[in-house]
Amino acid sequence: MAAERSAEILFKDRPVGVLLETPDGGTRFVYGPDVTETIACALPVATREHGWPAGLHPVFQHLGPEGWLREKQARAGRVEEEDDFGLLLRYGRDCIGAIGIRPVQPITPSGWGGDAETRAATVGGRTVSGVQKKLLAYHDGDRYLPAEADGPATHIAKYNGQSEPTLVRNELLSLRLARDVLGAKQVTAFDRGFVAGLDEPALIVTRFDRTATGAKLRLEDFAQILARPQGRDFGGKYAGSYEEIAAAIRQHSARPLIDLDQFFRCVVFCVLIGNADAHLKNFSLLETPDGLRLSPAYDLLNTLVYRGAYKTEFALALGGDRIPTDRIDRRRILAFAEAIGLPAAAARLALRQLRDRIRRSTAIQPPDAEPEDGFLHRYAEIVENACSRLFEE
Flag whether 161 is in a domain: no
First-last CA distance in the chain: 66
In a domain, 248, yes or no: yes
Residue 115: what pLDDT?
74
State residue 47 phi and psi, 5-degree precision: -100, 115
Alpha helices in 3-110 (DSSP H): 58-61, 67-77, 84-91
Q: Residues 363, 237: one domain?
A: yes
Within a domain: 292: yes
133 belongs to a structural domain: no
Domain presence at residue 193 = no
Tell whether 90 and 226 lie within a shared domain: no
For residues 221 and 100, state if they share a domain.
no
Last residue of a domain, one of 89, 105, 121: 105
Query: Quick one: pLDDT at residue 108?
Result: 67
Q: Containing H/E element for 183?
A: none
pLDDT of residue 2: 55
Listed residue (108, 107, 148, 122) closest to 7, CA to CA: 107
Let me know if residue 146 belongs to a domain.
no
The domain of 17 spans 6-105
Contacts of 124 (CB under 8 A, 6+ apart): 93, 94, 147, 148, 149, 150, 153
Supply the pLDDT for residue 145: 93
Sheet holding 284-288, edge to edge: 219-221, 284-288, 291-294
For the segment 248-293, what is each residue's pLDDT rounded down to a tens digit? Answer: 999 999 999 999 999 999 999 999 999 999 999 999 999 999 999 9
CB distance 311 to 280 below 8 Å: no
**pLDDT < 70 positions in the chain:** 1-3, 108-114
Element (H, E) at 96: none
Count of domains observed in the chain: 2
Q: What is the DSSP letter of 349?
A: H
Verify that 238 and 385 share a domain, yes or no: yes
Indicate whether 119 belongs to any domain: no
Q: Is residue 173 in some structural domain?
A: no
Asked if 158 and 132 touch (Cβ cutoff 8 Å), the reply is yes
pLDDT score of 1: 39
Query: Of 57, 82, 105, at which residue does a domain stop?
Result: 105
Distance of CA 259 to the CA centre of its chain: 17
CATH number at residue 341: 1.10.1070
* Residue that finishes a domain, picked among 75, 105, 135: 105
> What value, to the nearest 5°, has the Cα angle with vertex 59 and ends 284 and 236?
75
